[in-house]
Amino acid sequence: MSNRKIIDVISGAHIAPPPIWVMRQAGRYLPEYRELRKSAKSFLDFCYTPDMAVEATLQPIRRYNFDAAILFSDILVMPDALGRDVHFVTGEGPRMTPLGEGDVDALTPNNVLSHLSPVFEAVKRLRSDLPDETALFGFCGAPWTVATYMIAGRGTSDQAPSRLFMYQKPDELAKLLDIIADASAEYLIGQLDAGADAVKIFDSWSGVLDEFAFEANCVQPVKRIVEKVRSARLNAKIIAFPKGAGHFYRGYKEKTGVDMVALDWSVPLEFAAELQKEGPVQGNLDPQRVVAGQAAIKEGVDRIMDVLGNGPLVFNLGHGITPDATPENMDFLVRYVRGEI
């Protein structure tokens, strides 16, 4: 047993009430985040300034004493470190020049660790600033999800440009996924060495692929990262979030080798209970319930706890909290899950 509950659950323990943290727990629903954000030149500057990244990470811990803090950063620091021109347009999202002819070969994987050294500095400071019982998570994007932004140059609703790229340039895609996977493994090892207790791989766009493409573009690259990280750091705790994987959640833990799988809110609870027999699960409240208010939160939490509460569970939302959720509703969620109200 460790003194960090979430780490015990990731190792397979059942803890009641379940430990809780929330995807995007540092973010625009918090007034103190919006205030801090104003002082940053750009979103990437925010991520690369350890003082700011540390402060943003700690804000939700001060308010809600979550059982885990997640490093404040973004999955798109990876294409930035690989030499693409990443920027964030306020109110719209990330932008970069779509990959063109020869661009994959021109990526700069050897620069990644030095480019991302401010992130390691933030992790180091966080581990010493956080309460001892609060776990610290590092993270990266999964290769497929990161690749979708690099190929399209922006977020799209169905990743049609990346699916087309996959059929037209399969070798180019395979090369790209390998480059991102290897750089991401190094990046996660760096975060673990700086003090992260566990790392999470976000595959937010795994739900747009057929069974063959899911296996090749989501399962295999995540497995590659897990193997590389574990060959360097045997006991690394690794979580993955293959959002929208649906049926493909079955067996995902075993195939990739991760310790815990995060579930989106579309996963039926009875199916989630079967997945929980494969190992610990995290999830999966619809974030809109935290916008809607107390009745919606109670109903959703009760349903999850009825079905998943007797096994290894980390309570979380099924995706990130949205900016229109209120800090008061978040407070209610945390206290309700902890049985304080």
Ligand X SMILES: Cc1c2[nH]c(c1CCC(=O)O)Cc1[nH]c(c(CCC(=O)O)c1C)Cc1[nH]c(c(CCC(=O)O)c1C)Cc1[nH]c(c(C)c1CCC(=O)O)C2
Annotated binding site for substrate: 24-28, 74, 149, 204, 319
User: What does the CA dihedral 162, 166, 170, 174 come to, rounded to 10 degrees?
Assistant: 50
- Is the CB of 69 or the CB of 272 nearer to ligand X? 69
Q: How buried is residue 233: exposed, middle or buried, by Cβ count under 10 Å (0-12/13-18/19+)?
A: middle
Q: What distance in Å separates the CA atoms of residue 70 and residue 22, rounded to the nearest whole number?
A: 9
Q: Which of 33, 149, 187, 252 is catalytic?
A: 149
Q: How many residues interact with ligand X (rule CB under 6 A)?
A: 22
Q: Are 273 and 312 in contact (CB under 8 A)?
A: no
CB of 25 to ligand X, least distance (A): 5
Q: What distance in Å separates the CA atoms of residue 176 and residue 184, rounded to the nearest whole number?
A: 12
Stretch that binds ligand X, among 73-81, 96-104, 128-136, 295-303 (CB under 6 A): 73-81
- Is the CB of 90 or the CB of 235 nearer to ligand X? 90
- Is the CB of 109 or the CB of 320 nearer to ligand X? 320
- Is the CB of 72 or the CB of 311 nearer to ligand X? 72
Q: Which of 8, 51, 67, 74 is catalytic?
A: 74
Count of helices and strands (H, E) across the chain: 17, 9
- Whether residue 31 is preceded by a cis peptide bond, meaning omega within 30 degrees of 0, is no
CB of 43 to ligand X, least distance (A): 5
Task: Identify the residue among 18, 79, 94, 283 touching ligand X (CB under 6 A).
Answer: 94
Residue among 94, 135, 65, 63 at smallest CA distance from 282: 135
CB of 234 to ligand X, least distance (A): 25
Helices 50-64 and 31-38 cross at an angle (nearest 10°) of 170
Radius of gyration for the alpha carbons in the chain, expressed in angstroms and rounded: 19
Query: Binding to ligand X by residue 70, rule CB under 6 A?
Result: yes
28 is catalytic: yes
Q: Enumerate binding residues for ligand X (CB under 6 A).
A: 23-28, 37, 43, 70, 72-76, 88, 93-94, 139, 155, 202, 204, 320
The catalytic residue positions are: 24, 28, 37, 74, 149
